[in-house]
């Protein structure tokens, strides 16, 4: 045995898969699916009957959860599709910097400073106005496949 010390760099990503497989025929409306390497929310699913040449097919219409673009895919119903792990976390808003980044308070008391303000005009103005008025704001952050974005806002009253 050697007396060497082993040093490991701590990475936020533990190497867990960003997606998991699910049979196409079991994915329903309002579920999630990866289309063209983008995490999407399924807004419509239609299935075609088994034809002369092979499988029944599922036609998925999805909306990208980060940029709102409509994407479509057709997959045999017996095949597996990639389904993204989608998490939603609430953080308290502490500060908004001039360059468009937000400072958020995590559950364990540390700060998260690597998120930009959302591009959605309505949500952006609600956050800026509420913050300017001195309200206590909680933002919901959706994360999937290595991307994160503020997707919703809750007002928990005026600051004490």
Number of H helices, E strands in the chain: 1, 11
The pTM is what?
A: 0.78
pLDDT tens digits along 104-147: 998 888 999 999 988 888 999 999 998 888 888 999 999 999 99
Topology classification of domain 86-155 = OB fold (Dihydrolipoamide Acetyltransferase, E2P) (2.40.50)
pLDDT tens digits along 70-111: 999 999 989 999 999 999 999 999 999 888 899 999 888 899
Please provide the CATH number assigned to the domain covering 19-84. 2.30.30.30
What are the structural domain ranges in the chain? 19-84, 86-155
Residues in Cβ contact with 47 at an 8 Å cutoff, skipping those fewer than 6 apart? 25, 56, 57, 58, 59, 77
């Amino acid at each position: 045995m050697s007396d060497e010390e082993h040093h490991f760099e701590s990475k936020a990503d533990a190497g867990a898969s960003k997606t998991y497989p699910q049979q196409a025929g079991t994915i329903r409306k309002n579920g999630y699916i990866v289309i063209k390497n983008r995490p999407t929310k399924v807004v419509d699913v239609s299935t075609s009957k088994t034809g002369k040449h092979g499988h029944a097919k599922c036609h998925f219409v999805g909306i990208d959860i980060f940029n709102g673009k409509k994407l479509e895919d057709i997959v045999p119903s017996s095949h597996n599709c990639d389904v993204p792990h989608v998490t939603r976390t609430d953080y308290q808003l502490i500060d908004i910097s001039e360059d468009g980044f937000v400072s958020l308070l995590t559950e364990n008391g540390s700060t998260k400073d690597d998120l930009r303000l959302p591009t959605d005009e309505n949500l952006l103005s609600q956050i800026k106005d509420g913050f300017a008025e001195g309200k206590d704001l909680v933002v919901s952050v959706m994360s999937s496949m290595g991307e994160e974005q503020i997707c919703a806002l809750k007002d928990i009253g005026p600051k004490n």
